[in-house]
Amino acid sequence: ATPTSIMVGTGRAAELGVLFRKGEALQALRGAKVIAFDKTGTLTEGKPELTDLQVGEGFDKDTVLAHIAAVEQRSEHPIAEALVAAAQERNLNLPGVSEFDTVTGMGVSAMVDGVRVNVGADRYLRSLEMDLAVFADTAGRLASEGKTPLYVAIGGKPAAILAVADKVKAGTPEAIAALHRQGFKVAMITGDNKGTASAIAARLGIDAVEAEVMPDGKVEALAHLRRQHGAVAFVGDGINDAPALAAADVGLAIGTGTDIAIEAADVVLMRGDLRAVPQALALSRATLSNIR
């Protein structure tokens, strides 16, 4: 490709809200076989909401929710915001907390009214040797609905199962359909539960799912996709996504996401709308075939 054709291509991309930080990215995009997306905040809005709360025997719903929100007030995870908002909507008074702790990719914990409260993924509570069998049926149903099941333990006992759900962004189904028409495989990489991720992937027609990926495991998930399908373009928005954006054959960051993700990326999507991805790919093909 000549420098001029790349300039023209990147100029046209900019009109579409696609910013090429490196000229080579236009060429690299053309070689991609699979387009992998982060789920939360990329395929979805990244603004989860509490949809379900079922308490175990002997526990009161409002008390449990107040305990959850008290702990989550200390967390910056989008899930935390959803749970605090739910307690606020119900005008619950939140008890004081101490000894707050975040277990990355798993959940959070703190002391509330003299008892230990843990909130997080099933793997988190299982790692604390808690038996979640009473909630198994509910968890399966929630995941099959594309919701993320979470558990709460109070004083070392499983107290409740809850679920949060996040809306798929408006342009996402169309973007995926366009990528398929262009002949790409589409993949999802997420820290979320396998059942939940599979349900969302099935609904969106996504071909490959890497779920329950720990924040430092996204690069490895990418390598797995590359071994199976070939060169990978990765689209993400979060701090967690920065290493994968740098490691991908092409990294595309959502411009409304975190600065760290943008800095690690080759391409920045100025708007959150994923329809810009197939547009950028079409442009990369058109620009580079003009040169021949």
Footprint on this chain of ligand ADP (rule: CB under 6 A): 39-40, 72, 75, 77, 79-80, 105-108, 119-121, 148, 150, 190-192, 215, 240
**Cα separation of 153 and 155, whole Å?**
7
**29 neighbors 281 (Cβ within 8 angstroms):** yes
**163 neighbors 147 (Cβ within 8 angstroms):** yes
Cβ proximity to Mg ion, 122 vs 166, nearer residue: 166
Cβ proximity to Mg ion, 79 vs 117, nearer residue: 79
Looking at 38-46, 85-93, 144-152, 206-214, which segment touches Mg ion (CB under 5 A)? 38-46
* Size of residue set near Mg ion by CB under 5 A: 5
Cα dihedral 212, 47, 267, 269 sign: positive
Name which of Mg ion, ligand ADP, none residue 148 binds, using a CB cut-off of 5 to 8 Å depending on partner kind: ligand ADP
**97 neighbors 112 (Cβ within 8 angstroms):** yes
Order across the sheet with 148-154: list the strands.
Answer: 49-55, 157-165, 148-154, 115-120, 107-112, 97-103
Cβ proximity to Mg ion, 192 vs 237, nearer residue: 237
Residue nearest to Mg ion (CB): 41
List the catalytic residue out of 38, 166, 237, 249.
38
Closest separation in Å from C-beta 167 to ligand ADP: 15
Name which of Mg ion, ligand ADP, none residue 237 binds, using a CB cut-off of 5 to 8 Å depending on partner kind: Mg ion
Cβ proximity to ligand ADP, 211 vs 283, nearer residue: 211
Which residue do the tokens 């995870």 mark? Answer: 77
**229 neighbors 210 (Cβ within 8 angstroms):** no
Structure-token pair, residue 52: 């379900």
Cβ proximity to ligand ADP, 108 vs 245, nearer residue: 108
Q: Binding to Mg ion by residue 38, rule CB under 5 A?
A: yes
Order across the sheet with 34-38: list the strands.
Answer: 18-20, 267-269, 250-254, 232-236, 34-38, 185-189, 208-210
Closest separation in Å from C-beta 165 to ligand ADP: 12
Residues 229-268 that bind Mg ion (CB under 5 A): 237-238
Burial class (CB in 10 A: 0-12, 13-18, 19+), 91: exposed
**Catalytic residue at 259?**
no
Closest separation in Å from C-beta 146 to ligand ADP: 13
Closest separation in Å from C-beta 249 to ligand ADP: 22
List of residues contacting Mg ion (CB under 5 A): 38, 40-41, 237-238
The residues annotated with a catalytic role in the active site are 38
